[in-house]
DNA sequence: CGCGGCTTTGATGTTCATCAAGTAAAGTGG
DNA sequence: CCACTTTACTTGATGAACATCAAAGCCGCG
């Protein structure tokens, strides 16, 4: 009778262990593993079998696909509380995309079988997963549509605001990715991403110190993002 | 004791009423409504409250968003057996997308409350919904990435092949949408969609009779789609 | 027949990708 | 710690791809 399940104190408990009995919880807690990753480490790899249900406890990761021309397309940046393996876990036996750390990260992993068993046995738990999954896929789709309807400047502005508003909640932040990855996210070339950034800098809208970005004229940037 | 639930004979029974008891089934069957739509009718409208869980029995629909510049972006074409309201039902109280018929269609609607109740009570049923939802969102995301990495010609070729292979399963078919809608789907202008089609026609790759398209050189079109 | 919407074509200009070259920064081995 | 290599970043020049604008043809419908 292990009374000391550390999940009891996990800040994600409410999110994930919602609506399950203490027995069920104990069982999950015993089969779960925490993993630490450095920047650049793969958490999941495209086409590899899905074994764990993974969520991010801390850090930041990018979800991307490598298409058959060898190029990478980034589809999402996941932050803590996001379920990293949520998109294809229930429809495929292998990952449809790769997940890589862009900041030091910690994940909590539960064997996918355990989670599936629990879903089958507990509808309330299933409902929670459904809600979370719906949220994540909705976000991914919406973001891709938002990016798609903008031009180069609008897209770059959108990304900067995304990091400032949603990820770091601070107008000045250190970009966890390089220029090439910004390009892979917004579907433009590295050179043109740089050109847009330089323009913003010359116009006094942002300041650039290597990877550190400071948004000086927030409203102007917002306007450019809304297409100006 | 109504022994005559018509769902018993519904071809979608296996898909949706999987793993539920005959009592549960009877209850769903009694609260469900079938609706018929003409081409151009709205099935769901963006920002309107979600009341029903909807799936498509027959026909063809487009899912799209109207962004704040008033332009429409098509994100998916749903065909029978697809759950039309599957993307945001569990995370939002209003639709994130509009759904409009592009062919005469029939839907089966079940009050969302009923479905949620059933999910909460029956994990196996929930698992089925999860799988379906995962499949749909995976498809939407994958398709958008596939389109994004192609140029004009590649995108138009991709759409034609999509209709031929996935929707109509026939190299010649009648396009259910106009040129503008193709453009809204692939993120290009109407004029350029037409130019690409005309090129394909002049090169003898396809034949065009108004909305009827006949793919003559399938392999060539495939090559163009894979970027050539 | 005439009107409005859809389609098509052409001309023009803008936006963006590509190619090339150079600078800065960061890692590597002696 | 310094030369060396590699990787990231930056700028410029050029051409291709695409959007925009304008106009005309087509087709269905009242």
Does the structure show a pLDDT above 80 at A97? yes
Highest mean pLDDT among A81-85, A106-110, B18-22: A106-110
φ, ψ (nearest 5 deg) of residue A95 = -70, 140
**Residues of chain A found within 8 Å of residue B121, distances taken between Cβ atoms:** 123
Query: What are the structural domains of chain B?
Result: 6-139 (2.60.120.10), 150-225 (1.10.10.10)
pLDDT at B88: 85
If you average pLDDT over every residue of chain B, what do you get? 91
pLDDT at B4: 61
DSSP for B104-156 reads EEEEEEEEHHHHHHHHHH-HHHHHHHHHHHHHHHHHHHHHHHHHHTS-HHHHH
Predicted TM-score of the model (pTM): 0.93
pLDDT at A168: 96
**What burial class does residue B2 get, using C-beta atoms within 10 Å of its C-beta: 0-12 exposed, 13-18 middle, 19+ buried?**
exposed
Which helix (H) or strand (E) element contains residue B212? strand B212-215
Does the structure show a pLDDT above 90 at A1? no
**DSSP assigned state of A94:** B
Q: Average pLDDT for residues A39-51, to the nearest whole number?
A: 94
Q: Give the gap in angstroms from C-alpha A10 to the nearest C-alpha of chain B.
A: 24
B61-95: burial string, b at 16+ Cβ within 10 Å, e else? bbbbbeeeeeebbbbbbbbbebbbbbbbbbbbeeb
A59: nearest Cα among A45, A41, A71, A33:
A41
pLDDT at A153: 98
Q: What is the pLDDT of residues A52-62, one digit of tens each?
A: 999 899 999 99
Cβ atoms < 10 Å from Cβ of A130: 22
pLDDT at A228: 63
Q: Does A5 touch chain B (CB under 8 A)?
A: no
Does the structure show a pLDDT above 80 at A151? yes
Q: Average pLDDT for residues A27-40, to the nearest whole number?
A: 90
Contact B174/B211 with Cβ under 8 angstroms?
Answer: yes
DSSP reduced 3-state for A102: strand
pLDDT at A227: 77
pLDDT at B1: 47
Q: For residue B10, what are the contacts with CB-CB under 8 A and spacing of at least 6?
A: B17, B57, B108
pLDDT > 70 in chain B, percent: 95
Chain B 42-71 contacts with nucleic strand C (CB below 7 A): none
* Lowest mean pLDDT across A215-224, B31-40, B63-72, B77-86: B77-86
pLDDT at A116: 93
Question: B12 or A225: which carries more pLDDT confidence?
Answer: A225
Q: Give the gap in angstroms from C-alpha B217 to the nearest C-alpha of chain A.
A: 23
Distance (Å, whole) CA A77 – CA B92: 21
A63: nearest Cα among A51, A72, A52, A50:
A72
CB contact under 8 A, B145 and A67: yes
If you average pLDDT over every residue of chain A, what do you get? 91
Question: What residues 130-149 of chain B have any CB closer than 8 A to a CB of chain A?
Answer: 130-131, 133-135, 137-138, 140-142, 144-146, 148-149
Q: Average pLDDT for residues A174-202, to the nearest whole number?
A: 98
Distance (Å, whole) CA B84 – CA B55: 5
DSSP reduced 3-state for A199: helix
CA of B71 to C1' of C1 (A): 35
pLDDT at B2: 46
Q: What is the pLDDT of residues B102-161, one digit of tens each?
A: 999 999 999 999 999 999 999 999 999 999 899 999 999 999 999 999 999 999 999 999
DSSP reduced 3-state for B172: strand
Map A30-78 to HEC letters: HHCEEEEECCCCEEECCCCECCEEEEEEEEEEEEEEECCCCCEEEEEEE
Q: What is the pLDDT of residues A104-134, one digit of tens each?
A: 999 999 999 999 999 999 999 999 999 989 9
Does the structure show a pLDDT above 80 at B227? no
Q: What is the pLDDT of residues B177-216, one digit of tens each?
A: 999 999 999 999 999 999 999 999 999 999 999 999 999 9
Chain A 180-209 contacts with nucleic strand C (CB below 7 A): 187-189, 191-192
Which among B116, B130, B137 is the nearest to A119, CB-wise?
A: B130
Distance (Å, whole) CA A115 – CA A133: 14
Q: What is the pLDDT of residues B63-77, one digit of tens each?
A: 999 998 889 999 999
Q: What is the pLDDT of residues B68-108, one digit of tens each?
A: 888 999 999 999 888 887 788 899 999 999 999 999 999 99
CB contact under 8 A, B91 and A131: yes
Cβ atoms < 10 Å from Cβ of A137: 24
């Amino acid at each position: 009778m292990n009374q000391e399940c550390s999940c009891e104190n996990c800040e994600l408990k409410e999110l994930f262990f919602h609506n399950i009995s203490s027995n069920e919880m104990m069982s999950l807690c015993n089969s779960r593993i925490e993993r630490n990753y450095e920047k650049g480490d793969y958490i999941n790899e495209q086409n590899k079998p899905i074994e764990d249900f993974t969520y991010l406890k801390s850090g930041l990761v990018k979800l991307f696909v490598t298409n058959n021309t060898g190029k990478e397309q980034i589809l999402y940046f996941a932050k803590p509380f996001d379920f990293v393996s949520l998109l294809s876990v229930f429809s495929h036996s292998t990952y449809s995309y790769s997940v890589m750390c862009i900041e030091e990260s910690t994940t909590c992993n539960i064997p996918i079988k355990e989670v599936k068993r629990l879903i089958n046995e507990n509808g309330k738990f299933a409902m929670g997963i459904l809600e979370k999954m719906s949220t994540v896929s909705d976000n991914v789709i919406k973001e891709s549509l938002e990016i798609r309807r903008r031009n180069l400047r609008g897209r770059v502005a959108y990304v900067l605001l995304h990091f400032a508003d949603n990820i770091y909640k601070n107008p000045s932040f250190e970009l966890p990715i390089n220029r090439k990855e910004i390009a892979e996210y917004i579907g433009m070339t590295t050179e043109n991403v740089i050109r847009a950034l330089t323009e913003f800098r010359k116009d006094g809208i942002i300041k650039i110190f290597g990877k550190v970005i400071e948004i000086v004229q927030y409203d102007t940037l917002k306007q450019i993002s809304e297409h100006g």
